[in-house]
Amino acid sequence: MAGTGVHDDVLPLPRNGLRRARWAVALVFLIHGSVTGNFATRIPWIQDHTGISAGQLGLALAFPAIGASLAMPLAGRISHRFGARTALRGLLALWTLSLILPALSPGLYALCPALLVYGASSGMSDVAMNALGVETEDRLGKPIMSGLHGMWSAGALLGSAVGTVAAHAGWDARIHLAGAALVLTVLGALACQGVLDLRSAPEEHPPPRFALPPRSALIIGAIGFCAVFAEGAGLDWSAVYLRDELGTDAGLAAASTTAFACTMAIARLAGDKVVARFGAVRTVRAGGVLATAGGLLIVAASHPAMAMAGFGLVGLGIAVVVPLAFAAAGRSGPAPSQAIAGVATITYTSGLIAPSAIGGIAQATSLTVSFMLVSTLTLGLVVGARVLRVPGREARTRVAEPATDLEPS
């Protein structure tokens, strides 16, 4: 990738090595998502174990996003120092092992720093794996980022399934999360063996420890913000909306959240073919139209089936936006990791404020008004989709160039 500053005196990577690298980085995304899924299912156990209130739990759950936002800019410097493969191996292991920390916390004052470390390791490994995903996509010459994020969603669903079984069986979360952490750490180390091994040139200056993201990343991040806000609203408030606004029973309301998550995962796994056929800009514009239509259907719904269909359209419409935002950031300038970190920080912030913003608006007015805001933001995807255009030549033309800056696996 232009501007990565990797060595140009190593052998080109064979085509079968690129395919191996693709599936290796896909497994990394799956593992990363699995950590999140396992943790999310044991939050009630952690609350009971620490004896904290709902308000204190809400405060503690802000710390992962804070840790991620603070640590993300460090990922580029770590990759520069150790090389992309070694950096990802270490950061992913830190993330999988940090899964143990929240369950070991005896109270609020231990839980907050544990979640800060948990979030910081999540953010750094997130940036490292997305940077490698963009590089792999460029070398293959075809879109793969949507599929990679689909693998993350599949991992989150898989992890939540394991966690649900563990919770239903009454397992101590310390045992469950420790076992999951060890298994995922081993799998992560094996997966990282196959990813691309990019190394910075000796004369290249390391990126700053902390720096403001480039302007291009801010613009791209605004698109990601709209999508993640809608995602957070769907995941956190769909069940509440069906229960409170439409009088749906608890079981059907909860099923709407699962359906929303599954819709996004399926759309992401299939999204690469759509992007390859129509391009990033047209795909996001069409997605914005679908998501806006879904939001309006939610607002106008008089029956649970209408609202669930609306949530499905929102999930379908926004599914590929964040993967494409990361891909665009990675190509937006001479410092891909810094740009990706900037976009990731903005999207993390959106994910942090979306649930509380929806709740605050609902408290002051109603949930219906809250989802009118969601529809307005998804309409922004239609207007701003052009910033996700691949600059210069399309990725498929790049694959004809020798991959002289990669080490053979």
User: What's the pLDDT band for 122 if we cut at 50, 70, 90?
Assistant: very high
Question: Which of 40-44, 259-263, 353-357, 396-400 has the least mean pLDDT?
Answer: 396-400
Class at the top of the CATH hierarchy for domain 214-391:
mainly alpha
Cα 275 from Cα 29, distance rounded (Å): 20
Q: What is the dihedral of CA 51, 53, 59, 64, to 10 degrees?
A: 40
Record the tokens describing residue 6, joined without a space: 């990797």
Cβ atoms 294, 234 nearer than 8 A: no
In tens, the pLDDT along 29-77 reads 999 999 988 998 888 899 889 998 877 887 888 888 889 888 888 888 8
Cβ atoms 263, 270 nearer than 8 A: no
Cβ atoms 120, 68 nearer than 8 A: yes
Exposure string of 308-336, with b = 16+ CB inside 10 Å and e = fewer, is bbbbbbbbbbbbbbbbbbbbbbbbbbebb
Cα 111 from Cα 100, distance rounded (Å): 11
Whether the pLDDT of residue 93 is over 60: the answer is: yes
Residue spans of the domains in the chain: they are: 15-197, 214-391
Cα 49 from Cα 87, distance rounded (Å): 34
Model-level pTM greater than 0.85? no
Record the tokens describing residue 109, joined without a space: 């004052």
pLDDT given for residue 383 in this prediction: 92
Record the tokens describing residue 179, joined without a space: 């076992």
Cα 380 from Cα 19, distance rounded (Å): 35
DSSP letter at 173 equals H
pLDDT given for residue 118 in this prediction: 95
Tell me which of 102 and 12 has the higher pLDDT: 102
Integer CA distances (angstroms), 99 to 92, 128, 174, 180, 349, in order: 11, 19, 10, 8, 21
DSSP letter at 6 equals B
pLDDT given for residue 295 in this prediction: 94
Residue 6's φ and ψ, nearest 5 degrees, are -85, 165
Q: Angle of helix 280-300 relative to helix 215-246, nearest 10 degrees?
A: 30
**Across residues 348-355, what is the average pLDDT?**
76
pLDDT given for residue 377 in this prediction: 94
Q: Which residue(s) pair with 6 in the sheet?
A: 200
Q: Do domains 15-197 and 214-391 have the same CATH topology?
A: yes
Q: What residues have CB less than 8 Å from 63, skipping those under 6 apart?
A: 112, 113, 115, 116, 118, 119
CA atoms within 13 A on the CB side of 88: 31
pLDDT given for residue 335 in this prediction: 66
Q: Choose which CATH entry (1.20.120.550, 3.60.40.10, 1.20.1250.20, 2.60.40.10) describes domain 15-197.
A: 1.20.1250.20
User: What's the pLDDT band for 341 if we cut at 50, 70, 90?
Assistant: confident
Q: Which residue(s) pair with 200 in the sheet?
A: 6
Q: What end-to-end distance do the CA atoms of the chain give, in Å?
A: 18
**Across residues 95-105, what is the average pLDDT?**
96
Cα 75 from Cα 128, distance rounded (Å): 6
**Across residues 339-347, what is the average pLDDT?**
82
Record the tokens describing residue 323, joined without a space: 């993967």
Closest C-alpha among 21, 315, 43 to residue 159: 43
**Coil, helix or strand at residue 392:** coil
Cα 128 from Cα 140, distance rounded (Å): 18
